[in-house]
């Protein structure tokens, strides 16, 4: 295939990398980590007056790859990778750099489903909306939803309504023993009774508790970087006059498909 433009070259490179081998996955992660570090270095140069340093970009990229290889299991790693990672590990003290944190969405165990939900609230405009997605152990979408919530006045309330609606959809589809992830620690602590429930949310959280028991749902916390698809769905809800559901991933809004596919292939997010 003849490549005549940079975007074509990037797509060609990524699509020809094997997803089933350690070398292919590491090459994909290295490419994304290098792009991220170049972008960060460019922003520091433009907005903070720092000089761009190729050595710094390479060092940061290798630290990211080392963090990825440590956080996730890569079997049969090639010797050149091991040698390079060992070198960056030995020189880490001289670099005086923090090792990046690696975050990614994790698939549920085989035979179980995972529901990710998120709410979004803008205090300045009073816009409240939520969204969620249900996926299987291969990362395939079972269904997704987005909804606007009128009359709400806090992010906690919108998170609670998104959780309630996600559980309702699971119940209507006969799902049981679902794993649920939210990026709201406050909501998680209230649902698990580590924090008292605000009186104005008592009714909605009673619904959540009942549905949680009926579905045998296990609710846990997920960092925002591991909850991007639900976040994008919540953002899309502003254009939905009422509850909208999707049953096929191909019908999802275009800007939701990107994070969906990145989750599906296990692409991690890198936190500085």
Q: What angle do CA 86, 87, 92 make, to 5 degrees?
A: 100
Closest CA to 149 of 174, 171, 119, 175: 119
Average pLDDT per consecutive 10 residues, the chain (272 residues; last block may be shorter): 62 63 72 81 81 81 71 54 56 51 87 95 88 96 95 91 96 92 95 91 92 92 94 92 93 93 82 64
Closest CA to 141 of 116, 120, 161, 177: 116
Rounded to whole angstroms, the Cα distance separating 267 from 256 reads 15
pLDDT score for 85: 56
pLDDT score for 238: 87
pLDDT score for 87: 55
pLDDT score for 88: 53
Does the pTM exceed 0.85? no
Total Cβ atoms within 10 A of residue 47: 8
Q: Domains along the chain? A: 6-99 (no CATH), 114-267 (3.30.420.10)
């Amino acid at each position: 295939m003849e490549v005549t433009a940079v975007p074509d070259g990037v797509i060609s490179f990524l699509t020809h990398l094997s997803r089933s081998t350690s070398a292919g996955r590491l090459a994909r992660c290295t490419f994304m980590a290098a792009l991220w570090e170049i972008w960060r270095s460019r922003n520091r140069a433009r907005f903070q007056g720092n000089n761009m340093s190729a050595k710094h970009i390479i060092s940061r990229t290798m630290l990211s790859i080392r963090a990825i290889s440590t956080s996730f299991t890569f079997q049969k790693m090639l010797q050149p990778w091991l040698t390079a990672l060992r070198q960056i590990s030995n020189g880490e003290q001289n670099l005086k750099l923090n090792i990046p944190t690696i975050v990614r969405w994790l698939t549920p165990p085989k035979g179980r489903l995972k529901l990710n939900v998120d709410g979004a609230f803008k205090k300045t405009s009073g816009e409240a909306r939520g969204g969620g997605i249900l996926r299987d152990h291969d990362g395939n979408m079972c269904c997704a939803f987005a909804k606007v919530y009128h009359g709400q006045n806090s992010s906690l309330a919108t998170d609670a309504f998104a959780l309630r609606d996600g559980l309702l959809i699971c119940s209507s589809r006969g799902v049981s023993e679902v794993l649920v992830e939210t990026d709201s620690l406050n909501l998680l602590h209230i649902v698990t009774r580590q924090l008292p429930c605000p009186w104005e949310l008592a009714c909605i959280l009673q619904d959540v508790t009942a549905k949680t028991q009926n579905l045998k749902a296990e609710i846990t916390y997920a960092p925002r970087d591991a909850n991007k698809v639900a976040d994008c769905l919540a953002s899309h809800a502003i254009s939905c006059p009422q509850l909208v559901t999707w049953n096929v991933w191909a019908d999802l809004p275009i800007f939701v498909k990107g994070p969906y596919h990145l989750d599906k292939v296990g692409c991690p997010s890198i936190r500085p």
